[in-house]
Structure 1
């Protein structure tokens, strides 16, 4: 019994050791390296074996269908639902790609859903199912036009909240808008609908949408003067329905930490920007990387010995138990 229990743990130990590396990392043609953040990623079946999620909380009228979607609201009046990360997103540069679906049976529909990066988490409220006067940034996928002449709906817009200013719901957030765009075909599209938000601290913020044609991204907005997003921000999604309704589904969420591998060496601090100082800085980084590699290698060796020791102890106990049983007879 002891031996079988320890042997069963070997694949799990191997998975932990392998999963701790950067196998999910990849670098594109522009030199941007992406490393997946599992803590902020959602994909079917969404829940663990005990029907819970290690990294996310769900609430309101949210329904989870493990093989298809996380439904924030069903196509029924007066619903609200949300899903929020348990840990804050602390990466300096990141990319969040979501696949979603908004559809329903009625000719009239509403109200929409939102993506959040805010200090507040899991707090229901009146802004697409989330609390008003938030601090951070909200991306609103608004499908119902209240009072905004000259604007084509559905409309996607970003609002930067300071914790004090309320959302102007009566006018579809016109006075709150940071940037936005019309996206007429985003509801009920025949292809997978997606949004991708990319952020480089103090450098750029860009929102891209996919709804016209599969694998074709359309830039909704982009700026080289991005807002300051709180260093401790939780990633979340919420939706609401009023008298009019829709199904608001989150299909998947993929979050990556971004690194610019082509970034030039910064010759600062020592040597007044001299090449010698730069070489010293690179040498120091190389030494730190080497030390980190050795530390990881030693950690693996220690873990292997721990697992092997556990197997040996379990086998010894099992063998002694068998011998005691044989002496009885």
Structure 2
């Protein structure tokens, strides 16, 4: 009787342990599946729509003549590139700027500029180059108008624009106090006290042309416009060696969110994040047209370099039949960033109800929208493998436990039979 009680106790404990193990495994299995599927089973409703009017690609001439201003010594090669400056040409500048004739009402968007910065052919590997390149999103375009040649017209424009200095090119080919955001790639160190070696990048925001300006001579150190990055952002030397490089600007006006990435030729299709922030106020718009204009410029001084623009691609983020400032847009753009950029946006509970972008990794692979199912499929395979391992462990444990119980039962029965036979042999 005593052995029967022990056996029943062991059997009960074994069954309870198996049940508990199964519960833990099942919870883990379904919890993982639910948390992952919430982001990857349903595709975001955000759509990335190409803005042709704010983009440029081969052939260039037709698009340039309709939707862009051209300034300085810019050379247009219809089936090649847009050359802003040329190595060997000192004290040059060149620029292109969207003219607002097309759709420049860009709120939530990305712009990708593909460019090449090259030294003079045959120059030494470490030869000095200069001065740099700027990519801007600005509220002003009329400083390039052809009818600003008279002093009266220039003065009138400066008054109407809030003080934009017509004719100045010291912000890498653009007016030093141009309103808007400027991403400046510096390829020559003017200031000896600048510790970071070229090339490096700065991001500035000008909201008041009368009081704010970029300072070229100090490599931006004495800039009175708002400098968004704390220190110089170091870039790779390959940027100045003629390699094809892509610069990506992502701006979400609904969240006042700005993100800047770079893609080097030697890195393949991988993007490297350079900078991200939440702005305190939106990027400036043109007061009359409510538009923002995209510009790329380059400048040389005593030193020179060739700057070629290979393409400009602008895409906008939209939610069908919904206002881009709605709560639905906020939820969908969070899901979109996880799926498209491998990034997560979390809602921040503060007085302004801003979002906060939490960077998941400094380097990541970008897939186009039509590649999204493949990305989900890869993730699904990984999740399936994890689930299979957990399920296999549970089944194996159950099997081993059942074998143990069966062997134990046989052992007990065998012991009982042996004991009964032994008892039957005792003399009366």
TM > 0.5 fold call = yes
Displacement of 1:190: 6.4
- Look up the match of 1:44: 58
SS at match of 1:53: helix
- Separation in structure 1 between the aligned mates of residue 268 and residue 43 of structure 2, nearest angstrom: 21
- Separation in structure 1 between the aligned mates of residue 277 and residue 183 of structure 2, nearest angstrom: 15
Displacement of 1:260: 5.2
- Look up the match of 1:182: 234
- Look up the match of 2:354: none
Displacement of 1:142: 0.8
Of 245, 249, 256, 1:193 maps to 245
- TM-score of the aligned structures, taking structure 2 as reference length: 0.52
**2:341 matches 1:257:** no
- Look up the match of 2:215: 168
Displacement of 1:52: 5.9
**Structure 1 residues 247 and 171, CA gap change in structure 2 (3 angstroms):** same
Contact 1:102/1:188 (CA < 8 Å) preserved in 2? yes
Displacement of 1:214: 1.8
Contact 1:143/1:187 (CA < 8 Å) preserved in 2? no
SS at match of 1:54: helix
- Look up the match of 1:90: 105
- Please list the CA deviations of residues 117-173 of structure 1 after superposition, one character each: whole Å capped at 9, or x if unmatched: 112223542211111212111111111111143223201111111212121222111
SS at match of 1:109: coil
**2:197 matches 1:152:** yes
Contact 2:117/2:243 (CA < 8 Å) preserved in 1? no
- Please list the CA deviations of residues 269-298 of structure 1 after superposition, one character each: whole Å capped at 9, or x if unmatched: xxxxxxxxxxxxxxxxxxxxxxxxxxxxxx
- Look up the match of 2:93: 80
- TM-score of the aligned structures, taking structure 1 as reference length: 0.66
Segments of structure 1 that go 5 or more residues without pairing to the other structure are 1-27, 267-329
Displacement of 1:63: 0.5
- Separation in structure 1 between the aligned mates of residue 201 and residue 233 of structure 2, nearest angstrom: 5
- Look up the match of 1:312: none
Displacement of 1:227: 4.6
Moved over 6 A (4+): none
- Separation in structure 2 between the aligned mates of residue 149 and residue 193 of structure 1, nearest angstrom: 24
- Look up the match of 1:33: 47
Range moving further from structure 2, 163-172 or 178-187: 178-187
What RMSD over aligned residues (CA atoms) do the two structures have, in Å?
Answer: 2.4
Of 289, 295, 306, 1:236 maps to 295
**Structure 1 residues 59 and 154, CA gap change in structure 2 (3 angstroms):** same
- Separation in structure 1 between the aligned mates of residue 319 and residue 277 of structure 2, nearest angstrom: 18
- Please list the CA deviations of residues 1-52 of structure 1 after superposition, one character each: whole Å capped at 9, or x if unmatched: xxxxxxxxxxxxxxxxxxxxxxxxxxx965542111111010011112xx96
- Separation in structure 2 between the aligned mates of residue 36 and residue 53 of structure 1, nearest angstrom: 20
Displacement of 1:191: 4.6
Judging by fraction of residues, say which structure has more strand: 1
- Separation in structure 1 between the aligned mates of residue 299 and residue 47 of structure 2, nearest angstrom: 36
Contact 1:101/1:249 (CA < 8 Å) preserved in 2? yes
- Look up the match of 1:20: none
**2:272 matches 1:215:** no
- Separation in structure 2 between the aligned mates of residue 116 and residue 181 of structure 1, nearest angstrom: 17
- Look up the match of 2:257: 204
Question: What is the total number of aligned residue pairs between the two structures?
Answer: 237
- Separation in structure 1 between the aligned mates of residue 244 and residue 45 of structure 2, nearest angstrom: 28
**Structure 1 residues 215 and 190, CA gap change in structure 2 (3 angstroms):** farther
**2:99 matches 1:54:** no
Contact 1:205/1:226 (CA < 8 Å) preserved in 2? no
Segments of structure 2 that go 5 or more residues without pairing to the other structure are 1-41, 145-165, 287-291, 330-428
